[in-house]
Chains A and B, each alone.
Chain A
């Protein structure tokens, strides 16, 4: 079920009151919530539930076995088995066709013909997200940071429908303790939830879908038919589209979880106001960044080794982070561009330190220049992320320079406004939304409901027709 649909609305109107009614009976609540989450997930394809169920059981078995094992070698072996099993399943569903095809084509390039049909594997929705969550649970148990919990609690953690299909990637130690603490039904942060849900819907339906329809899909579909200005604006538009699409989804997910009494960690923090790529990764898909840092970058050695090893670890983490997004080399290049950027930033900082140079003064001009540069490096990477092939990416880059002066019909006032709103709101002082939320929360409930109803009307009216899936569903 997609969030902005009638079906989900009916589903949630049933789940919300039942969840609070059962809250004082934790055992029954967990059974109910697991069942509701499986209904949510199975709505796409009931077979996905088998995979989710198997992942839940297997990872719980691994976690308990690791916890009980006293011999370090045995613990390590069990961890290796758990990681291999999880990544193996993920790899099969997500990358089997990609690697087999790549291998066949590589062999064909050197004259070896391996003509074999490639098995058509359906990618279960959300598999990247719940696999990473399961891994975080098992690894945290291995490290001694977390003790395994009852199967029912782990099952709720893994299947919890607000974050099941597209994150945010919530770690076990962030969520499971909340299951043990009773949520107070008298204190629901409805003001924040309403802002997140309505704001998320606006970002997704009005801005992201509009930009996709109005310019991004057409320009990336046929770059040679568009002028340089159209291509440039389409790249900016995609940067805003993917931000609004993904952050819109996670805002809705966080808001829904709040209504059910749970707090998810923030996933986006005005990423296009970042002053460096390092800063960008502390603001964009924050949960994935922390997961990669804690479970990949640091175990690889992080920055503890030599300079070259540090750069290697950075690049590997970013390349694999790119591959996580999808089975295409363009995603790997996306990760590579950002990894190279991060490595370069690090080199610059180390060089300054070696030469004994002081930090440059943090002036308004310098800060905004850094923001501009960072934003454009990120946009360069987005070209590879969005393009369906290197050929298209190359066409986009070429078209950025060789078609100035041609007609610019696709750059409309609506497109420009949507881009300005998408980026401009990231520069709003935090006190503005906080003040609005506070004032909203003090209104009578009926007034709050009426305002939300009007907002829903505006979103429905302004957005294009139809319900486009969220971009991150494909990951």
Chain B
């Protein structure tokens, strides 16, 4: 049987039918795609176009095949559009004044110029929880797409100790953050991960995508808000504090959170916004000394003149790419820099040993 060629008009008909059928069968996915667009005409057009599709698909039950397949793949949440931010009511309260093992401390600046908040050096090491290959520190690394390279760098850095056990792989999700739970509901994800996995340490990064100003999941009494307004700042602070609470302040938790801040990028407009985001995160971290450490990658990756650079010198003096060509993400050498600071912060609170501690030798009796 030979292939049959068709007139161009029939080809157009095939394309249109394919798009209509595909759109109806994928209505829920398209709806979510439209919902998660930045505020503007594209979103409005997308929402208007997908509304009837969702209605038709639901009425004719043509959305079921996609739902069944997603469920079979264990991804039934993919099309869910989170419209609220799930934070416990007590998360808004001021954190407890007492710090866990590791002590308290003011802001410390590390030797490489990165500003961090966390316990000051010189704490009594005897008070620190100890992790060894027999009892490794379980760490969960997650966040937006900027979590991936530093996260993998951290895992490479600690691989030789045997005393750090990652929970799953580094979970970096493109274009997500705390501003748009409809894109991805990190609040529910974090809560579930803490309940299921109970990690000893968490490394997070958010904020790179939290500058759009179009915040979703607002409380009922809050109307639409623009980036940087008092309303936006208050709500973002609530979310950041809420995440910190979920990880470190739930009753019975003894857990360290290292929050990697947003780095300087190759876009002055976004940098001004990132300064706002970083300031909020830093302030919330400072309210939780010994439990939350903030890694100031904005300062870490600035040039001497205060601007963006793609290359920096490594430990042996060689020029290496630390930022990717897109001017935002990290190259592996950049991830390595961050990983070292993250480990330093963890070691202020925990002791991570390659070998189990040896018992003291018996005292000789005279």
Contact = CB atoms under 8 A, between A and B. Distances in A.
Given A187-B5, A188-B7, A218 B317 contact: no
B226 interface: no
A434 B2 CA distance: 9
Contact of A108 (B29, B33, B170, B318): B318
Nearest to A120: B310
B219 interface: no
What's the interface size class on B, roughly?
35 or more
A221 B12 contact: no
B4 A453 contact: no
Interface string B6-37: 11101111111111111111100100010000
B13 A446 contact: yes
B10 A437 contact: no
A449 B15 contact: yes
Contacts of A460: 22, 26, 29, 66
Q: Which of B3, B26, B311, B321 has the most CB of A within 10 A?
A: B3
A190 B22 contact: no
A246 to B, nearest CB: 20
B170 A101 contact: no
A105 interface: yes
A442 B14 contact: no
B26 A221 contact: no
A101 B319 contact: yes
B52 to A, nearest CB: 16
A462 interface: yes
Contact of B3 (A259, A389, A437): A437
Contact of A17 (B12, B29, B309): B12
Most A CB contacts (10 A, CB to CB) among B10, B78, B266, B317 go to B10
Contacts of A117: 309
Contact of B26 (A446, A452, A457): A457
A466 B29 CA distance: 11
Given A222-B156, A410-B169, A191 B319 contact: no
Contacts of A217: 148
A152 interface: no
B170 A218 contact: yes
Contact of A9 (B10, B19, B159, B175): B19
B178 to A, nearest CB: 18
Given A101-B319, A457-B65, A438 B16 contact: no
Contact of B170 (A221, A445, A446): A221
A461 B66 contact: yes
Q: Which residue, B13, B18, B151, B311, has most C-beta atoms of chain A within 10 A?
A: B18
B309 to A, nearest CB: 8
Contacts of A388: 331-332
B160 A439 contact: no
A105 B321 CA distance: 12
For the residues of B in contact with A, the DSSP-based class is helix
B46 to A, nearest CB: 8
Contacts of A6: 33, 46
Interface residues of A, number: 61
Nearest to A122: B325
B152 interface: yes
Given A453-B20, A453-B22, A221 B317 contact: no
A188 B17 contact: no
B166 A192 contact: no
Contact of A224 (B21, B160, B317): B160
B149 interface: yes
Interface in A368-423: 388-389, 392, 410
A99 B4 CA distance: 53
B14 A448 contact: yes
B73 interface: yes
A194 interface: yes
Interface string A192-236: 111000000000000000000000011001111100000000000
Given A439-B1, A460-B22, A462-B69, 15 more contacts: A9-B19, A185-B7, A186-B7, A187-B6, A190-B11, A218-B169, A222-B152, A259-B11, A441-B6, A445-B14, A446-B13, A448-B14, A452-B22, A460-B29, A461-B73
16 contacts: A16-B8, A108-B318, A120-B310, A187-B6, A190-B11, A218-B152, A218-B170, A221-B148, A221-B152, A441-B5, A445-B14, A449-B15, A449-B17, A449-B20, A452-B22, A457-B25
Interface of A: 6, 9, 13, 16-17, 20, 101, 104-105, 108, 117-118, 120, 122-123, 185-194, 217-218, 221-225, 259, 388-389, 392, 410, 434-435, 437-439, 441-442, 445-446, 448-450, 452-458, 460-462, 465-466
